Chain A
């Protein structure tokens, strides 16, 4: 069965600092991988996704993520965080073999301080 682990429940960074949010997955084959962001009281918005090809994927709002098969990871990065990036971030894995729902991690809450 697929699973996703986001080891950090809460991260605080200073505005302008770099950011890396960790995501590890468990899946038998090459997975589909996603990062979503959720602002307070809102639904989830897709930041980026990896299906195949280049392992470094670019997303919206200046985010990128790198798929590392050897580490079963799909970490999200941003070189310079803005106060508006404060939100909850969810990593998810999809099953390429069939029509099953995405499996989500429990999320990482990002706080940004001045």
Chain B
């Protein structure tokens, strides 16, 4: 079975802190994705990556950056957390042109 793990299920941070969300997949997938999910807005794509050290902006990249130094790991970074970044963050991975597999999500609260 494909396994996508996220470093934390729940996270509470203060405004202005630098926040790292980690995602690891164990299926050697080329593609990895970060979404945020908010009530009524569905899933919104933040960044994605096709390969190591590659990254592409999604629909809402502002305030976020990403890092993919190894194929299995894709990190989402909030350089200076703000209250409007309080959300559920979902990571996913996929092989080329195929099903995306999701992690359990990280619920981030920024105070």
Chain A residues in the interface with B (C-beta under 8 A):
9, 32, 34, 36, 41-46, 49, 90, 92, 94-96, 98-99, 101-102, 104-107
One of B62-70, B77-85, B99-107 contacting the partner: B99-107
Q: Separation in Å of the A1 CB from the closest CB of chain B? A: 11
| Interface pair B102/A43, CB less than 8 Å apart | yes
Which residue of chain B is the closest to A106 with respect to CB atoms?
B42
Chain B residues with a Cβ closer than 8 Å to the other chain, count = 24
B74 within 8 A of A: no
Q: Bound state CA distance, A72 and B31, in angstroms?
A: 27
Secondary structure class of chain A's binding surface, majority of residues = loop
| Interface pair B33/A90, CB less than 8 Å apart | no
Residues of chain B contacted by A42 (CB below 8 angstroms): 104-105
| Given A41-B107, A101-B48, A106-B42, also A94-B97 (CB < 8 A) | yes
Cβ proximity bits B39-78 to A, threshold 8 Å, 1 near / 0 not: 0111101001010000000100000000000000000000
Which residue of chain B is the closest to A102 with respect to CB atoms?
B100
Residues of chain A contacted by B104 (CB below 8 angstroms): 42-43
Q: Bound state CA distance, A4 and B55, in angstroms?
A: 24
